[in-house]
Amino acid sequence: MMKTTASKKRASTQSGIHFAQPAEPLGDHATSRGIHHAAVWSLAFRPFFLLGALWAVIALIVWALWFSGHWPHSFVLPPSLWHAHEMIFGFAAMIAAGFLLTAVQTWTGLRSAHGVWLIMLSGLWIVARISGVSSAEPWGLGLFICSHFLWWLGVIGCFSYQVIKARNTSNYILIALLCGLFSLNLVFFALVNEQAYVLASQLLQSAVLLFCVLITVIGGRVIPFFTGRALNRPQVKHPRFDLVLLIFSLLAVALFIIQFFAPVSSLAAIVLILLGVGHLWRLGQWFDRGVWAVSLLWSLHLAYLALAIGLMLVGISLLTSCLPLKDSLHLISISAISAMILSMMSRVSLGHTGRALAVSCGISAAFALLLLAGLLRALASLSEQVLLFWQLSAWLWSAAFILFFVYYWAVLTKARVDGKPG
């Protein structure tokens, strides 16, 4: 009991997301031989990362086959909406949930979702993925919506319960962001049901920017922490600037949504460009030449750079038709959000299984492939071979996540190498 109390006190003093530190699960760990006691179900990052990485490959291959004219089956949604939805609310949401349901154990000192809870959440997520490509009939859409609804409720419920019970007030903002993504997903389904496909597409674009807010919060904690720790230098912190950047991020999302219905696109563009500049300044404060020697650092820094540039390009695209909005958003979704996801998955998987924080050449190559995939997709409209650029981007993306899945299968399915639970 004294040990548990001490753990809670240590966790409550942490203000950052210390993904590098292996979590210390509390309470007794059953030794039953039941499948729900397998190592893969001990913490959310294990099944969620594996499933998310696998779906990243499958969904992009399906999408590449479709836009190349080689996919004969129907989708539960119009194809372009299915693709965007699956990347945001299928892949990215699953990985974000894996991060948060793992990190919340360290923040609160309370045992995070495990065992049967993770099996149920994973099952709901799998049902949603399968139903999305199984039938365009009304029952298919109904199953698709219901499984998503229950999955979101499960994730938000597990996360919020721990944060609120531990009075971990610094992370209440993450509850709000999760609820925001959940709400957008529900509105998207309502629009699809009404066949308001243009509005549904615009909402998905807005969801990309909401994920940028998530990166603003989490990236602002982990990147300077990881950089300072790896390079043995003081951690760079600017709390007031971080707050201003968060406010600007929320304002940018709000204006971006409003500009679809009211003439505020110029104001939205200015805020987005200023936001991108702010991220660049922030990144400059974190940067050190030593990051180039550490794959787990340069991958995060370059992903954050892509975020800053992407936000500025989104702002510019609202001011001129010379730069397609979707291309700018793809730079963010691939080279910023997904590249940061891949880097964080690699680090979390090592840290939370007791392994050294060093990746193989194959994973370093995966980081580079994903960053290049985003660049190619963003530049596609400038080429006369648009379809070729799309195909190259899709295959580079797939190769990156195949490498992760192959290299990390054993890491995520086997017990910790240091013998600790978790």
Q: Where are the domains of the chain?
A: 36-195, 201-422
Give yes or no for a contact between 71 and 65, defined as CB atoms under 8 angstroms apart: yes
Mean pLDDT per 10-residue section of the chain, whose length is 422 residues: 42 38 37 63 92 94 86 84 93 93 90 89 94 77 91 95 91 91 92 90 92 91 91 88 93 94 94 96 94 95 96 94 89 95 93 88 95 92 86 94 94 83 66
**pTM for the predicted model, two decimal places:** 0.85
d(CA 186, CA 139): 17
Q: What angle do CA 99, 393, 377 make, to 5 degrees?
A: 95
Buried b (16+ CB within 10 A) or exposed e, 25-60: bbeeeeeeeeebebebbbbbbbbbbbbbbbbbbbbb
Q: Helices (DSSP H) in 42-171: which residue ranges?
A: 45-67, 79-85, 93-108, 116-132, 138-165
- What single string gives the DSSP state of each residue in 147-160? HHHHHHHHHHHHHH
Taking alpha carbons only, the member of 189, 63, 100, 212 closest to residue 138 is 189
Helices 197-231 & 172-193, crossing angle to 10 degrees? 160
Give the N- to C-terminal CA distance of the chain in Å, as an integer.
Answer: 19
Amino acid type, 68? S
The owner of tokens 């510019």 is 316
Torsion sign, CA atoms 209, 211, 214, 216: negative
